[in-house]
Amino acid sequence: KQEVTQIPAALSVPEGENLVLNCSFTDSAIYNLQWFRQDPGKGLTSLLLIQSSQREQTSGRLNASLDKSSGRSTLYIAASQPGDSATYLCAVDVNDYKLSFGAGTTVTVRA
């Protein structure tokens, strides 16, 4: 069974600092990995999708890398802002129409 781990569980940084969020998974046979953002009491918003054949994906200040062989993905958020405060979740798709989620990293960006 695929296990997805996100460390740390919580992170607090001053505004302007770069954020580095980690995601690890146990089974490297994945089709893709997706990063989501969740605000308190809300649903998930998709940030980036990395297909298994890709090494990284970028959108604005966000960059996500994928190393299938080591079972790791990293989400980088450049020049953090208070509006980036949220919980970030990663999920892996193992092609059985099921996503396996990590528990998330809760980020606080201090003004």
Contact status: 58 vs other proteins (CB under 8 A): no
Backbone angles phi, psi at 30, to 5 degrees: -115, 155
Q: Residue 67 Cβ, how far from other proteins at the closest point, in Å?
A: 19
Q: Residue 75 Cβ, how far from other proteins at the closest point, in Å?
A: 15
Q: Closest CB to other proteins among 26 and 46?
A: 46
Contact status: 98 vs other proteins (CB under 8 A): yes
How many whole angstroms separate alpha carbon 7 and alpha carbon 24?
9
Q: Closest CB to other proteins among 42 and 110?
A: 42
Contact status: 86 vs other proteins (CB under 8 A): no
Contact status: 62 vs other proteins (CB under 8 A): no
SS3 84: helix
Instruction: Please report, for residues 52, 71, 75, the alpha-carbon distance to residue 21 in angstroms, rounded to integers and kept in the order given.
Output: 19, 14, 5
Contact status: 31 vs other proteins (CB under 8 A): yes
**Cβ count near 39 (within 10 Å):** 11
